[in-house]
Amino acid sequence: MRLFLVRHGETEFNRQGLALGREDVPLNETGQRQARLVATALAGEPLAAVYSSPLRRCLDTAGPIAAAHGLEVRVLPELVEMDIGEAEGLTYAQVRERYPDILGRWLGGEDLSLRPLGGESLPQVQERAWNAIARLTRVHGQESVAVVTHNFVILALLTRALGMPIASFRRLRHSVGAISVLELDGESVTVWRLNDTCHLRADDGKGWLP
């Protein structure tokens, strides 16, 4: 199966640098434009299905992709973003000030759990997301599918695909509106594209997208 892994477009939380987990915020104007550009970039791909996290920012990114192929968006709950608990909506400085011990353990790779904040752990995110992708490979065989999801979900999937320790997720970046492409064949995973944002650099008359 060829997997087109798409991060949703920009929201106001992303633009302002606020922590964003399960809060169901919509795309902003830039994010809506990014969604259209992603759809254009994938219009020539033979997609058999388009799957999305249940959150609005992903559904609104997946919609144009699916429409370009005459498909309906299929919601996959396991693709929802990591629950970040009490960190939701805070700036990095606020998280550092309020939860220095938890942030220190997180950044040091000693403990990738946000359960003290009422959230979940990154290994939990990886397990649920990878199991969902594994089910898709059984359903779709040799087909191509698009999956629209979130930052932590994508980083957790990529570390698994690349055989990296999950604590190494900080070495990877996946921009809003970016596309990565994985090919899954049994236990073998090949990464064909990583954090591709070339399609977002198209000038639509409003300037170059970030």
Active site residues: 8, 150
Place of tokens 């900080």: 170
CA distance 3 to 174: 15
Tokens representing 91 are 């700036």
Residue 102's identity, in one-letter code, is I
User: If we measure between CA atoms, which residue out of 81, 76, 74 comes closest to residue 23?
Assistant: 81
Residue with tokens 């192929």: 69
Per DSSP, the residues of 102-114 read HHHHHHTTS--B-
